[in-house]
């Protein structure tokens, strides 16, 4: 039995501006940018324009680690835990 996980809810006012998109919708009529179909041995990530990425059960931990690493590269560090310096100058 496939289960579905939805994330990144789309505000109603944004739905009107994005008519070409086919946002995943849950049973309650709420639209989301992403949906994950969870099966016994894999997950499949879907977006609002119909693209999907299948992820085998053996790859899930690797994909999670990659996403966490990517998030860390994209965000400003949370001070005072970390400090980033671009050069060694004073």
> pLDDT tens-digit profile of 27-81?
888 888 888 889 999 999 998 888 999 999 999 999 999 888 888 887 766 555 5
Q: Could you give the CA distance from residue 55 to residue 46 in angstroms, rounded to a whole number?
A: 11
User: What is the pLDDT averaged over residues 8-18?
Assistant: 79
pTM of the predicted structure, to 2 decimals = 0.69
pLDDT at 78: 57
- Asked whether the predicted pLDDT for residue 88 surpasses 70, the reply is no
- Per-residue confidence (pLDDT) for residue 58, from 0 to 100: 93
Q: What share of the chain is helix, strand, coil (3-state, %, to 5)?
A: 25, 30, 50
Q: How far apart (Å, rounded) are the C-alpha atoms in residues 83 and 10?
A: 34
């Amino acid at each position: 039995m496939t289960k579905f996980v939805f994330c990144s809810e789309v505000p109603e006012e944004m739905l009107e501006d994005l008519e070409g998109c086919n946002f995943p919708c849950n049973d309650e009529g709420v639209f989301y940018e992403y949906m994950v179909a969870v099966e016994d041995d894999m997950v499949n990530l879907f977006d609002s324009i119909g693209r999907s990425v299948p992820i085998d059960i053996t790859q899930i931990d690797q994909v999670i680690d990659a996403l966490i690493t990517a998030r860390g590269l994209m965000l400003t560090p949370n001070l005072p835990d970390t400090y980033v310096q671009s050069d060694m100058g004073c």
